[in-house]
Structure 1
Amino acid sequence: MILQGNDPTTGASFSLGNRIQRQLWQCVWLCLFRPSPRPLHVWRSALLKLFGARLGQHVHIYPGVKIWAPWNLRVGSHVGVANGVTLYNMAPIEIGDFCVVSQGAHLCTGTHDYNSANFQLVAHPIVLAAHVWICAEAFVSPGVTLAEGAVIAPRAVVSKSLRTPWTVYAGIPARAISTRVRHAKSSA
């Protein structure tokens, strides 16, 4: 999908087919997804599925969510993604069952190789295990995997995978600050 060895100052970083597909999605997002009333989760899910997203049951993706490429989105069941969230998914983003991504959070799979002569664009997937909560305005970097039940505090920056389950992380960079109680219902 990402063109290799190109000069990003004079040429595109993606194939023509990818750019056309993203333009079509942007038109649908602007005309049909974004203006849809908040309760119409089924409508927005149908639009996302039309563009290749894989969604479980009871997925609530709100109209103000910005999704770069629906075909790179995998969402489990009983998931909420709030208004103002950015899913910049050049590479796949996987969101497990019972996850919440709060207002203004940014999950970013793309970056640049700053040591390459052409500042090569690269992308790495993000994986959220079940029961993860990304709090308001947190940032998750490319290539990050978050363990089951992890909580990422508001405005935290996650720059590497956090693999200890049921842990609360905060700060820049995010560090463990507490544990989270796992309830019997959580194992469902």
Structure 2
Amino acid sequence: MIVQGNDPATQASFALGNRLARALWGLVWLLLFRPSPRPAHAWRSTLLRAFGARLGRHVHVYPGVRIWAPWQLEIGDRVGVGDGATLYNMGPLRIGSGAVISQGAHLCGGTHDIDSPNFQLVARPIDIGEHAWVCAEAFVGPGVRLAPGCVLGARSVLMRSVDEAWTVWAGHPAVRVRQRRRGAVQ
């Protein structure tokens, strides 16, 4: 998908097929996804599935969510993704069942190799565990895995994987704040 060894100043970073698919998705997002009524979750799920997203049941993706590549998206059951969230999924993005991605959160699966001569574009997967919560305006970086039940506090920045389930993280950079009680979520 990503062109290797190109000159990003004069050449595209993605193959033509990928660029065309994203252009078509952008048009569908603009004309059919974004203006849809807030309660029209089934309609937006249908559009996402038409572009290759793998979605569970009772997925609520709100109309203001920006999704870079639906075909790189997998969402479990009973998941909410709030308005203004950005799913910049250059690589695979998985959101586990029962998870919440709050408004304005930014999940960023792309970066650059700062040591390569051409500043090579790199895509990394993101994995948000079941029952995790990425709070309002939090940032999750490329290659990050957030363990099941974790909470990433509002406006926090997480650039490394968290493997300790049911913990609360906050800050810039995010640090462990405390353990989360499991009884609240089944």
State whether TM-score is above 0.5. yes
What is the one-letter code of the residue matched to 2:57?
Q
1:23 equivalenced with 2:23 (yes/no): yes
Offset at residue 177 of structure 1 (A): 0.5
Instruction: Kindly provide the CA deviation profile for residues 81-132 of structure 1, in whole angstroms up to 9, marking residues without a partner as x.
Output: 0000000001010000000000100000000000000000001000011000
Gaps of 5+ in 2: none
| Aligned residues of 2:107 and 2:139 also touching (Cα < 8 A) | yes
What is the one-letter code of the residue matched to 1:151?
V
Q: Where in structure 2 are the equivalents of 1:32-111 lying within 5 Å?
A: 32-111=32-111
What is the one-letter code of the residue matched to 1:74?
E
Match of 2:165 in 1: 165
Instruction: Kindly provide the CA deviation profile for residues 153-186 of structure 1, in whole angstroms up to 9, marking residues without a partner as x.
Output: 0000000001111100001111100111101752
Offset at residue 75 of structure 1 (A): 0.0
> Could you tell me how far apart the structure 2 residues matched to 1:68 and 1:185 are?
30
Q: Relative to 1, partners in 2 of residues 1:133 and 1:112: Cα closer, same or farther, differing over 3 Å? A: same
Instruction: Kindly provide the CA deviation profile for residues 133-160 of structure 1, in whole angstroms up to 9, marking residues without a partner as x.
Output: 0000000000000111000000000000
Instruction: Kindly provide the CA deviation profile for residues 5-29 of structure 1, in whole angstroms up to 9, marking residues without a partner as x.
Output: 0000001000011000000000000
TM-score by length of 2: 0.99
Q: Relative to 1, partners in 2 of residues 1:167 and 1:185: Cα closer, same or farther, differing over 3 Å? A: closer
3-state DSSP of counterpart to 2:42:
helix
What is the one-letter code of the residue matched to 2:105?
A
Identity of aligned residues (%): 62
The size of the alignment, in residue pairs, is 186
TM-score by length of 1: 0.98
Gaps of 5+ in 1: none
3-state DSSP of counterpart to 1:103:
coil
Single out whichever of 75-84 and 172-181 deviates more from structure 2. 172-181
> Could you tell me how far apart the structure 1 residues matched to 2:12 and 2:175 are?
37
Q: Relative to 1, partners in 2 of residues 1:159 and 1:185: Cα closer, same or farther, differing over 3 Å? A: closer
> Could you tell me how far apart the structure 1 residues matched to 2:38 and 2:68 are?
20
1:155 equivalenced with 2:147 (yes/no): no
> Could you tell me how far apart the structure 2 residues matched to 1:165 and 1:185 are?
13
> Could you tell me how far apart the structure 2 residues matched to 1:51 and 1:159 are?
29
> Could you tell me how far apart the structure 1 residues matched to 2:185 and 2:159 are?
30
> Could you tell me how far apart the structure 1 residues matched to 2:78 and 2:84 are?
19
Once superposed, what is the RMSD of the aligned Cα atoms?
0.7
Q: Relative to 1, partners in 2 of residues 1:185 and 1:114: Cα closer, same or farther, differing over 3 Å? A: closer
3-state DSSP of counterpart to 1:178:
strand
